[in-house]
């Protein structure tokens, strides 16, 4: 089951990322790296941050165990859905009404003219968030039934919608292209929801949605409280890399035009091996590790963790060496055309190198975090992530002016090493050396 789930997740991620790179290639060619690309990436960054937090396991890690233990599964799942949707809809309305204020908060370095250009896009793109929550919620129900394919491939629909939007926008002014892209994001979210509804109906899970909200509250208070506690801890613990990238974007708004785009394109490339290997493996490994710990079979859990560590170490090491050695060539091949020039290639490749230095610590931390989650240490993982984020902010403030966008990416990488160190410290240095490093793989 682990191997099948791993390959399903990896292949789905690969298809989605290939389409994502085609999307980025078209974006770079049609839009380039300028003020309009910057304002779109800022507008898309906020809902995309929450999407990554949901998609990379925080919601699923909290929801599936609570759902499995719930005696009234339909009531429990529906009250969670309604609570989240109510909050997200209100939040989306707030962002729409106060789009200018929100834009100033997430891109404080923008001047008034740039804020006015970005604010409508921030409001439009934010409505992707409630759509992607619906997708994540339905995906968690499907994973409970051991169905991974729909969720693994659904992000491809978002990329397809954005690619179509870009093709339709060819020849338009750059100020219009960003609106095509933003509405493409919403269309992609709707397609993702539809695909999950179809899968949910095929698995006969639509009965989980019932009508009486008051009746749903009965006998669910303790279970929902437990879920929310674990969710908030897991969300912080599993989102360090994305929150760091968001901080990079915020600080980059103080730098020269194009800096946000360099960070965006480089981070997209960095996220490919991280998602393809580390995230896909951690999603597949988590249920088995949790089951072994629950059954008090610590030896089996360590064996699975050890094998995963060495596999991941090899794959990520190869990806790091290739990525750093051919950073310029990769960026040139994927992006340098149209409005994306040679200077943009150089700047993006340097930022990519800074990110790739941190690929190993960020990736390996993913699987060792599972050990903490399996032992119900979500709060410990959250505290570790908070310390890493504080370090990232400090490094960013130190490095931003002497090194620019490269310094922001390097700060994120340094915080990744701190995250890895603190996670292994909690796992146990002696346990790591004796059972992961020294003991032969059987």
Model confidence at 52, in pLDDT bands (50, 70, 90)?
low
Residue 419: predicted pLDDT: 92
Window from 28-32, 61-65, 274-278 with minimum mean pLDDT: 61-65
The more confidently predicted of residues 46 and 299 is 299
Query: Is residue 7 packed enough to be buried (19+ CB in 10 Å), middle (13-18) or exposed (0-12)?
Result: middle
Mean pLDDT of 9-20: 84
CA distance linking residue 41 with residue 313, whole number of Å:
32
| Distances in whole angstroms, Cα of residue 310 to Cα of each of 141, 273, 307, 316, 440 | 31, 15, 5, 10, 11
Checking if the pLDDT of 212 tops 50, the result is no
DSSP calls for 290-334: HHHHHTT-HHHHHHHHHHHHHHHHHHHHHHHHHHHHTHHHHHHHH
Q: Answer yes or no: are the C-beta atoms of 142 and 204 closer than 8 Å.
A: no
Residue 341: predicted pLDDT: 81
Percent of the chain with pLDDT over 70: 90
Six-digit token pair at 26?
């078209």
pTM of the model: 0.74
Mean pLDDT of 410-421: 93
Checking if the pLDDT of 376 tops 80, the result is no
Residue 291: predicted pLDDT: 73
Q: Answer yes or no: are the C-beta atoms of 406 and 325 closer than 8 Å.
A: no
User: What stretch of H or E contains 6?
Assistant: helix 2-30
Could you report the per-residue pLDDT of 290-307, keeping only the tens digit for each? 778 777 888 888 888 898
Could you report the per-residue pLDDT of 276-294, keeping only the tens digit for each? 899 888 877 877 787 787 7
Q: What is the DSSP letter of 428?
A: -
Checking if the pLDDT of 86 tops 80, the result is yes
Helices (H) and strands (E) in the chain, counts: 21, 0
What size, in residues, is the chain?
Answer: 442
Name, in order, each residue with C-beta under 8 angstroms of 318's C-beta and a sequence gap of 6 or more: none
Residue 229: predicted pLDDT: 81
Checking if the pLDDT of 179 tops 90, the result is yes
Model confidence at 89, in pLDDT bands (50, 70, 90)?
very high
Return phi, psi of residue 71, to 5°.
Answer: -80, -30
Residue 221: predicted pLDDT: 62
Residue 196: predicted pLDDT: 93
Checking if the pLDDT of 265 tops 90, the result is no
Q: What is the DSSP letter of 441?
A: P
Helix axes 259-273, 298-325, angle to 10 degrees: 130
Q: For the chain, give the mean pLDDT.
A: 84
Checking if the pLDDT of 374 tops 50, the result is yes
Name, in order, each residue with C-beta under 8 angstroms of 168's C-beta and a sequence gap of 6 or more: 180
Residue 157: predicted pLDDT: 94
């Amino acid at each position: 089951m682990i191997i099948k789930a791993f390959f399903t997740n990896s292949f789905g991620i690969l298809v989605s990322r290939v389409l994502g790179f085609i999307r980025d290639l078209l974006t770079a060619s049609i839009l380039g790296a300028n003020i309009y690309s910057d304002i779109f990436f800022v507008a898309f960054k906020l809902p995309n941050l929450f999407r990554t937090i949901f998609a990379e396991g925080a919601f699923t890690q909290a929801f599936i165990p609570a759902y499995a233990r719930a005696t009234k599964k339909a009531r429990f799942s529906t009250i969670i859905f309604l609570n989240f949707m109510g909050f997200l809809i209100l939040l989306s309305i707030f962002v729409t009404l106060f789009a200018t204020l929100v834009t100033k908060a997430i891109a404080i370095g923008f001047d008034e003219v740039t804020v006015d250009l970005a604010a409508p896009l921030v409001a439009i793109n934010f409505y992707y968030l409630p759509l992607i929550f619906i997708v994540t919620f339905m995906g968690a129900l499907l994973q409970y039934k051991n169905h991974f394919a729909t969720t693994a491939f659904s992000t491809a629909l978002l990329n397809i919608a954005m690619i179509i939007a870009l093709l339709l926008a060819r020849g338009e002014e750059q100020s219009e292209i960003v609106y095509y892209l933003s509405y493409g994001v919403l269309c992609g979210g709707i397609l993702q929801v539809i695909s999950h509804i179809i899968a949910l109906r095929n698995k006969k899970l639509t009965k989980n949605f019932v009508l009486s909200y008051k009746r749903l509250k009965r006998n669910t208070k303790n279970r929902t409280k437990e879920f929310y506690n674990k969710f908030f801890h897991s969300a912080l613990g599993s989102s360090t890399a994305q929150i760091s990238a968001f901080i990079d974007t915020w600080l980059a708004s103080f730098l020269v035009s194009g800096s946000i785009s360099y960070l965006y394109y480089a981070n997209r490339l960095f996220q490919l091996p991280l998602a393809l290997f580390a995230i896909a493996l951690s999603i597949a490994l988590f249920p088995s590790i949790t089951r072994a710990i629950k059954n008090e079979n610590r030896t089996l859990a360590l064996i699975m963790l050890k094998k995963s560590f060495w596999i991941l170490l090899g794959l990520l090491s190869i990806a790091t060496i290739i990525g750093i050695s051919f950073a310029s060539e990769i960026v040139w091949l994927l992006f340098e055309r149209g409005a994306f020039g040679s200077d943009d290639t150089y700047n993006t490749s340097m930022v990519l190198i800074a990110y790739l230095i941190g690929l190993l610590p960020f990736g390996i931390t993913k699987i060792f975090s599972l050990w903490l989650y399996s032992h119900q240490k979500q709060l410990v993982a959250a505290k570790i992530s908070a310390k890493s984020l504080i370090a990232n902010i400090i490094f960013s403030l130190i490095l931003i002016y002497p090194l620019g966008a490269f310094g922001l990416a390097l700060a994120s990488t340094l915080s990744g090493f701190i995250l890895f160190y603190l996670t292994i410290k909690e796992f146990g240095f002696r346990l790591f050396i004796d059972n992961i490093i020294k003991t032969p793989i059987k």
